[in-house]
Structure 1
Amino acid sequence: MRATIIILLCVVAAAVIGGGYVAMERARTAVSPLATYGTASADEARALGEHLATSLSAGQAKDFDAAFDLPAVVGEALVPVRLFPAERERFITNFTAGMNKATAGTLGVQLAAGAKGGMVKLIRVHEVAGRQRALVRFVNGDDALNYFDLVIGKDALGHARVIDYYNFLNGQMFNQIVAGVALPSIAESRKTSLERLIDGGNRIDMAAFVEVTKLAAAGKHAEAVARWKELPEPLRASRVGLFLRMQCAQAIGGDEYQQAIDAITSAFPDDGSLALIQIDGFVLRKDWNHALASIDQVDRSVGGDPYLDCTRAGVLRVAGRFAEAELAMSRYLAAEPGVKKAWWSAVDIALAAKDHAETARLLGELERRFHITFKDLANTKAYADFATSPEYAQWLARPSAQTGRQGERSTEAAVAEPGAPEPAAP
């Protein structure tokens, strides 16, 4: 009997401990926050995508911040981690606040600031894994290109919200990016004193990572790169760390930018999502054919975008392939004729090609479409060859030139060449 009692006590003890353990696991296992979102229709996704593109283009951050459920996305990144509910909520709150503070504003603020002088446009709505997505083209004021594939869901009140997005520049969903930063931080906080002693210099210093982001946000890119190089190797070698370096180096350009791109492509040699950053890498090497092939790859991955003809034209221009550049730019202008900056880019190509008839035609289009008037261009260096041509004399004789009005100078139309140092979009 005694043995039986002991066995029973062991069974009871196991049941109590096991029950407590199960209860603990239930308390620490999270339900996916995004699973609570309903399915948005294609029309709802399109309406939200167009609204956000319009508001960001106008420099307004609040609409994106209101639509994007950042705490839910951070919570989604933490689903694999066993945390008590209070721990989870505290981490989500602190992580969200810290991320906003570290990067000089909310995601909406960053996107709206980046869109200044550029454009944000909804390309299409499509479905992936049962969720509607709004694919948005993002071109910043320095002509740096990125795409965001916004995942759209419906909250409990029936409102369409952004519940995650795919960033084409680094080939990850936003919750994966968050996980890449948050999970090492949690792992570090759980180490014992002995484990930290054994790890020694391999400690993951998230404070130093935040310092790099602050320097970059303040425009101190050289300092940011220098500080990045002092980060622990595990953080520098991570995908998040490598892309942080590239974003800092992009504003510096030259060898620093090239080395940052090379580091990413070496770390992820089989990653087809990196075509967008490889365009600049190939242009810096003057490897025009591979740059154009990368543009083609991006075109396929986004399902087609006419703006990529503008990107092709820029590469073809610096490659000296002017006839092809003019053809590519003409395709883009036919698709989106309302983008004034693109017409100026076409003028730049025509001037480089010494295509005086096309230069005159394009200046006429700018005048007609955007109500621009010109001063005499003979004393403007970029137009020196054009000013000696018969086409220029004919252009001067046009009726609108006789009004005597003073207007916008064509020299204001300079467009950055492909590969120029540009800050990336978030």
Structure 2
Amino acid sequence: MLSFLLALACSASTPATFQEGATPATPVTEADAAAERFVAFAEAVEATIAEGDPSFMASHFDVGGLVAIMDAGLDAPADYREPFTEGLGSNFDLAAQIVGANAQFDGTYRFLRLMSGEPTRALFRLESNNGLNYHELHLVADAESVRIVDAFVYVSGESLSTTFKRGYVAGLVQYDPSLADTLPPTQKNYLSTLGALQRIKSVLASDPAAALAMWSELDASVKFLPEFLGARIAAASNVGEKEYLAALRDLREHYPDSPSMNLMMIDAYLLRGEFDQSLKCVDALDEQVGGDPYLELIRANIHLADGKFERAEKKVRRAIELDPLLDYLAQWKLIEIGLTADLHELTFEGLSSLETDYGIEWIDLRTAAGYESFVASEPGRRWIERWLAANGGGR
């Protein structure tokens, strides 16, 4: 289960790839110049996050702009809105969360493209040992700077402004109870169920089974609201495969057009052994984000689970061909395919590449679980001989 709450993602929109380096004869329009400015900003975000430095992205996150989106249609008093904005700015740091997740789960953060349409959105991929997400930052610009004012959260299928608006509205009604009568129906409905949601979330991390039991006792008019289904999925993912799949089936039934559906259902179908359906979800996700070579590695993983080892290898090599920056991850996948299928030359290739190109220092594989068949093979013997020579005979 992808549990990174504030992982950003793309909505279901048509992407547009902006290519670098226009020819001298091509006139540069105002739209081109604006696009180049947004691309440069997104590339700077990627570069600084890769360095483990959240300060650039954090300094360009416009909390006031985010709250203005949340406040649309509410017009909260300044005495409430301004302290809320200050508190959110002090307690919410998206960039630091991304850097922390990358460090904890060996992740990468890649800018892929700008998406067409309004508002301007920069699509990022967050890949890590904790799973896959796509991040869509909503950007605005003035004469001085480019700023992030909102973001779409792929896994939850909603924007940060929508997520934070719930707490904003709840606090507003506490500030002035008379404002409850002026709220739109959706916000009134949320307030009426807030206590139940808070009780579930209070035990979600410590006792997911209890959280799931609390969800099951809710009235049907409440339990299938997006925020409650999200809590159920989070709990079920830590209870068992049966419960998790049931939660995803309900999500698909009640919200079939959710932008997060394709991503979430890849693993659901894979767990059920429905490999063709899992691949269809990957294809739909690929189209949704405008193409991503990383998804070839996901396809390889599905083919591997299906026992189609040749197809898996081809997908890995296709990923490298489309995006050489995926080579490191791809070599690990080649080793996995080789070990699973007893394709020992493939294992040898992956081991050699990671050692030569990325400085991986291998242990004696004769003592490593899962490598027994490889070590006993001719390529495995060649590997051990080479390793012994490089390591002083294994001393």
Residue number in structure 1 paired with 2:225: 238
Matches within 5 A, 1:250-269: 250-269=237-256
Task: Write the distance in 2 (CA, Å) between the matches of 1:247 and 1:269.
Answer: 19
* One-letter amino acid matched to 2:109: V
- RMSD in angstroms over aligned alpha carbons? 3.5
- Deviation string 1:95-127 (CA, Å, 9 cap, x unpaired) is x379x4xxxx64334333322211111111243
Give aligned-pair identity as a percent.
25
Task: Write the distance in 1 (CA, Å) between the matches of 2:47 and 2:235.
Answer: 28
Instruction: Pick one of 84, 108, 111 that aligns with 1:122.
Output: 111
Moved more, 289-298 or 49-58: 49-58
Matches within 5 A, 1:2-17: none
* One-letter amino acid matched to 1:161: R
Check conservation: 1:373, 1:406, Cα contact below 8 A: no
Check conservation: 2:113, 2:124, Cα contact below 8 A: yes
* One-letter amino acid matched to 2:269: F
Residue number in structure 1 paired with 2:151: 165
Residue number in structure 2 paired with 1:364: 352
Matches within 5 A, 1:7-406: 41-90=34-83, 92=85, 96=88, 100=91, 106-116=93-103, 117-129=106-118, 131-142=119-130, 144-155=131-142, 158-179=144-165, 182-183=168-169, 189-190=177-178, 204-206=192-194, 209-210=197-198, 212-213=200-201, 215-216=203-204, 221-222=208-209, 224-226=211-213, 228=215, 236-271=223-258, 273-334=260-321, 335-337=323-325, 340-398=328-386, 401-404=388-391
Task: Write the distance in 2 (CA, Å) between the matches of 1:267 and 1:187.
Answer: 29
Check conservation: 1:148, 1:168, Cα contact below 8 A: yes
Residue number in structure 1 paired with 2:11: none
**Highest Rg: 1 or 2?**
1
* TM-score, with length taken from structure 2: 0.76
Instruction: Give the 3-state SS of the residue equivalent to 2:116 in structure 1.
Output: strand
* TM-score, with length taken from structure 1: 0.71
Check conservation: 2:296, 2:316, Cα contact below 8 A: yes
Instruction: Give the 3-state SS of the residue equivalent to 2:276 in structure 1.
Output: helix
Task: Write the distance in 2 (CA, Å) between the matches of 1:150 and 1:405.
Answer: 52
* One-letter amino acid matched to 1:43: E
Task: Write the distance in 1 (CA, Å) between the matches of 2:345 and 2:262.
Answer: 36
**CA spacing shift, 1:256–1:320, aligned 2, 3 Å:** same
Instruction: Give the 3-state SS of the residue equivalent to 1:170 in structure 2.
Output: coil
Cα deviation for residue 401 of structure 1 reads: 4.6
**CA spacing shift, 1:97–1:73, aligned 2, 3 Å:** closer
Task: Write the distance in 2 (CA, Å) between the matches of 1:91 and 1:388.
Answer: 64
Check conservation: 1:75, 1:92, Cα contact below 8 A: no
* One-letter amino acid matched to 1:340: Y
* One-letter amino acid matched to 2:64: P
Task: Write the distance in 2 (CA, Å) between the matches of 1:185 and 1:406.
Answer: 68
* One-letter amino acid matched to 2:384: L
Check conservation: 1:313, 1:324, Cα contact below 8 A: yes
Where structure 2 has 5 or more consecutive residues not aligned to the other structure, the ranges are 1-30, 182-188
Check conservation: 1:221, 1:252, Cα contact below 8 A: yes
Task: Write the distance in 2 (CA, Å) between the matches of 1:308 and 1:264.
Answer: 23
**CA spacing shift, 1:234–1:204, aligned 2, 3 Å:** farther
**CA spacing shift, 1:172–1:203, aligned 2, 3 Å:** closer
Cα deviation for residue 290 of structure 1 reads: 0.5
**CA spacing shift, 1:60–1:337, aligned 2, 3 Å:** closer
Where structure 1 has 5 or more consecutive residues not aligned to the other structure, the ranges are 1-38, 194-200, 408-426
Moved more, 42-51 or 179-188: 179-188
Task: Write the distance in 2 (CA, Å) between the matches of 1:47 and 1:212.
Answer: 42
